[in-house]
Structure 1
Amino acid sequence: MPTHVDEIDWTRVIERLLYLFPPIIGVGIVGVIQEVQLGIPGLQYGLLLFSSFGYSILTLGLLVSIFFDARRIRRRPWASENWEPNPWLNALATLISAPVAGVWYLIRRHKRFGTRPGWSGWWLVVAVSLGTTLFGFVAATVAILFTVPGLFGAAVALAGTIAFGSFPIAIHQDAAYVCTYGNSWRPNPGLYLGIAFLSLIVPPVQPLVAGYYLARRRKAIGVR
């Protein structure tokens, strides 16, 4: 186990903390929706409180992680002359907008040091999220046209759960794999993580990005 802050793999910590932001934010959204639908007193406030508390904890963790990672880069002789991140400025940016600052930090860090790849099958999760989202859109459209409230809620819940829970992780992890083992295409994992976060705010972006990514991946390295 690491015994010194500079021995901790802060990059991995930053990634994992960023992965948790969408589910935490999603809990707050669910709180608003479920109280309206179920009428359970205090449900909205409880879930919103949990979401706010979780967001604050993740922000603090991300702030600390980015601070120590940036400090370690500046202290090492192999630090890039073109990128020497300021620990204090990055920490301040994280305090202002943690997800945006964290994604931007990973984008810049990847350009200098790359991103360690993991499982080669994350593209399957991207494909499942794409299929689930398309199914959700179709089901929601049918529910609206034929006035089936239960179907609409189920479709939105299913598509939203997949999108918030797995899509950002899957596309970031798979982009790291493609960038490491591909030749003709080297996607920046941090950039795709940021786009995945954007797709949670603008839902139509998700199937477009997922479809484009899978097509480029298949052309670059095939199915592996």
Structure 2
Amino acid sequence: MARVATIRGELAWARLVERQLYLVPPVIGVGIVGVLQEADPGVPLLESGLVLVGTFGYSLLSAGIALSLFADARRVRRQGAASEHWRPSPWGNALFALLWAPVAGVFYLYRRHKRFGTRPDWSGWWLVVAASLATTVIGLAVAAIAVALSIPGLFLTAAGLAGAVAFGTFPIAIHRDAAYVSTYGDSWRPNPGLHLGLAFLSLSVAPLQPLLAGYYLLRRQRSGVSRR
């Protein structure tokens, strides 16, 4: 029973790192909206409020990720033989997270998966990846039409919808599905941490997100992973 409780504790901290990383893109997105959007005259200090929410949220997430990495790394080091090839530094990972939380968290999950794997859950996360791909492609097409026809409102709506779906769902979906494929796949075992990092990177340059999503779905289809 003690061993089971220990394993659950380890998974709890690792899962908490994942969940906190999932929140990073939406929080950053709120801050970006606050910087770029012109304040509505009917809503005073809207921009400042959004920037404040984004900044405070990111700082809070950074502290949470640092604490979670510290706790999980300490548990891994205490496992003895289970971590003989990887002994993460609790303080080193925590300090790294305080400096650059998304990169620190992604790198830690990447290393952790190589040693312990990542627990899968739903087999249908690829559908969310496909939906985010479709939404982004349609959003970019509509935005291009809006620019060509000089319709600012349509452009903002299309870009906002595509951005919201990409920031809110794509990193989660590709990370969770990669965990499933790496567990049940035969010819291809993607590292969920790596794909989470690539998803974060793809959000900074619009064309990269549909390219990554399309490539991932193609590799997944060719891998012949079973649906359980």
TM-score higher than 0.5: yes
Q: Distance in 2 between matches of 1:3 and 1:147?
A: 60
Q: Is residue 55 of structure 1 aligned with residue 75 of structure 2?
A: no
Q: Is residue 189 of structure 1 aligned with residue 205 of structure 2?
A: no
Q: Distance in 2 between matches of 1:140 and 1:171?
A: 25
1:72 is matched with 75
Task: Give the ranges of 4+ consecutive aligned residues of structure 1 lying more than 6 Å apart after TM superposition.
Answer: none
Task: Give the deviation of 1:32 after TM superposition.
Answer: 2.5
Task: Give the deviation of 1:77 after TM superposition.
Answer: 2.1
Task: Give the deviation of 1:56 after TM superposition.
Answer: 1.1
The answer on whether the counterparts of 2:118 and 2:179 sit within 8 Å (CA) in structure 1 is yes
The answer on whether the counterparts of 2:66 and 2:98 sit within 8 Å (CA) in structure 1 is yes
Q: Match for 2:206 among 203, 207, 217? A: 203
Secondary structure of 1:214's counterpart equals helix
Q: Distance in 2 between matches of 1:78 and 1:170?
A: 33
Secondary structure of 1:79's counterpart equals helix
The answer on whether the counterparts of 2:39 and 2:46 sit within 8 Å (CA) in structure 1 is no
1:118 is matched with 121
The answer on whether the counterparts of 1:178 and 1:221 sit within 8 Å (CA) in structure 2 is no
Secondary structure of 1:201's counterpart equals coil
Describe the superposition over 1:163-207 as per-residue Cα deviations: whole angstroms up to 9, x where unpaired: 100000000000000000000000000000000000111111100
Aligned residues: 222
For 1:164, give the aligned amino acid. F
Gaps of 5+ in 1: none
Q: Distance in 2 between matches of 1:206 and 1:18?
A: 18
For 1:181, give the aligned amino acid. Y
1:21-170 equivalences under 5 Å are 21-34=24-37, 36=38, 38-39=40-41, 40-170=43-173
Describe the superposition over 1:107-149 as per-residue Cα deviations: whole angstroms up to 9, x where unpaired: 0000000000010000000000000000011001101111011
2:222 is matched with 219
The answer on whether the counterparts of 1:25 and 1:55 sit within 8 Å (CA) in structure 2 is yes
Task: Give the deviation of 1:7 after TM superposition.
Answer: 2.8
Describe the superposition over 1:19-39 as per-residue Cα deviations: whole angstroms up to 9, x where unpaired: 0001111111122233x1634
For 1:38, give the aligned amino acid. D
The answer on whether the counterparts of 1:103 and 1:191 sit within 8 Å (CA) in structure 2 is yes
Q: Distance in 2 between matches of 1:132 and 1:147?
A: 22
Q: Distance in 1 between matches of 2:16 and 2:157?
A: 33
CA RMSD of aligned residues (A): 1.9
Describe the superposition over 1:54-75 as per-residue Cα deviations: whole angstroms up to 9, x where unpaired: 1111111110100010001111
The answer on whether the counterparts of 2:166 and 2:203 sit within 8 Å (CA) in structure 1 is yes
Aligned residues with identical type, % of pairs: 61
1:7 is matched with 9
The answer on whether the counterparts of 2:13 and 2:72 sit within 8 Å (CA) in structure 1 is yes
Task: Give the deviation of 1:223 after TM superposition.
Answer: 7.2
Gaps of 5+ in 2: none
For 2:40, give the aligned amino acid. L
Q: Distance in 2 between matches of 1:191 and 1:155?
A: 29
Q: Distance in 2 between matches of 1:223 and 1:108?
A: 26
Secondary structure of 2:203's counterpart equals helix
Describe the superposition over 1:63-111 as per-residue Cα deviations: whole angstroms up to 9, x where unpaired: 0100010001111123332211011111110011000100000000000
The answer on whether the counterparts of 2:40 and 2:46 sit within 8 Å (CA) in structure 1 is no
The answer on whether the counterparts of 2:185 and 2:224 sit within 8 Å (CA) in structure 1 is yes
